[in-house]
Amino acid sequence: MTHARMEQAGLIPADVLLPLTIALEALGGALIIVGRGRWILGAACALAVFTLATNWFLHPFWRLDGTMQRLELSLFFKNIAITGALLYVGATENRDQVR
């Protein structure tokens, strides 16, 4: 399903992008869980940028109508909240290292 959605959004070649996406999400999440300092900041920022890009390409609520628009708008703002949380985690962990 994700592969087809990526192709529908024009993200080609999805055969290459999907494994890279999975790797970024898995590695970024693992670095946030077990990392320290700059590793967490870098992973959080990379995942935040990725999440915003996901919004642009996969949740274009502004192009839709009705029920699909409401669904995509909900997913869009869910991703905005996740981006905010990632930036908060990166900023607060890095702040501890500066002191």
Query: SS3 letters for 21-44?
Result: HHHHHHHHHHHHHHCCCHHHHHHH
Q: By residue range, what is the domain housing residue 81? A: 2-98
Q: What is the pLDDT of residues 11-51, one digit of tens each?
A: 889 889 999 999 999 999 999 999 877 789 999 999 999 99
Check pLDDT > 60 for residue 99.
no
Q: Give me the number of domains the chain comprises.
A: 1
Q: What is the pLDDT of residues 56-87, one digit of tens each?
A: 999 999 999 999 999 999 999 999 999 999 99
Reported as a pLDDT band with limits 50, 70 and 90, residue 94 is low
